[in-house]
Homo-oligomer: A and B are copies of this chain.
Amino acid sequence: MVRDKAETKARILAAVGRLLAESGFRSLGVNAIAREAGVDKVLIYRYFEGLPLLLQSFAQEGDYWPTVDELVGDESAVNAETLADWMAYLLSRFSDQLQERPMTQEILRWELLEGNELTRELANVRDKFALDSLNFLAEKESFPPDKDIPAISAVLVAGVVYLMLRTKSSSTFMGIDFSSPAGWQRIQAALDTIVQLTVDGKP
């Protein structure tokens, strides 16, 4: 209708994003995308040579992960001194950022369910972001040699991610109610407790 290839391609890519954020990756079919974009599906094949390459294009363009700078925010305004302070702060920010990014949540779900080439690529991007964050921490204060800070971080981040992904479909986990802010505050407090006692505590 518009006779503009670039715009049509952009429309299709935008439709992928909308569909992903709203309905999850299971609804990412050629028909659904074309419908959402208001475009004939044959154009998907013409412009992207099929769904896999379309998704790959989307993965390269989309900014579903924050940069470390975005994660940290205004560094001078952060009231953190010790390594534990910084870890707790980053965890808290990570949790907030993740909550605001349904598309990112959906990608994490996707990684969990399907091990294809695309999700592996997405996982690489995510892991790069994670390592950047670890490096940022290490520059603040070098890691204590007697504790495996990356492994500890992995457990805590994994916990946050899992709890976050759960809340969409189920509201309680281990007796904690995540439908109210109170539940999340308990988790937040628990994270603080863990980080402070584990990272700064004497070995």
Contact = CB atoms under 8 A, between A and B. Distances in A.
Interface of A: 24, 26, 109, 111-115, 119-120, 123, 127, 130-131, 134, 147-148, 150-163, 165-166, 168-170, 172-176, 186-187, 189-191, 193-194, 197-198, 201
A152 B190 contact: yes
20 contacts: A24-B113, A111-B169, A112-B165, A112-B166, A113-B113, A115-B170, A123-B170, A134-B175, A148-B190, A151-B176, A151-B189, A152-B194, A154-B159, A154-B174, A154-B190, A155-B163, A155-B194, A156-B159, A157-B174, A158-B160
Contacts of A24: 113
Contacts of A109: 112-113
A166 B113 contact: no
A198 B198 CA distance: 6
Contacts of A197: 197-198, 201
Nearest to A165: B112
B187 A151 contact: yes
A36 B7 CA distance: 47
A147 B109 CA distance: 31
Contacts of A159: 154-159, 162
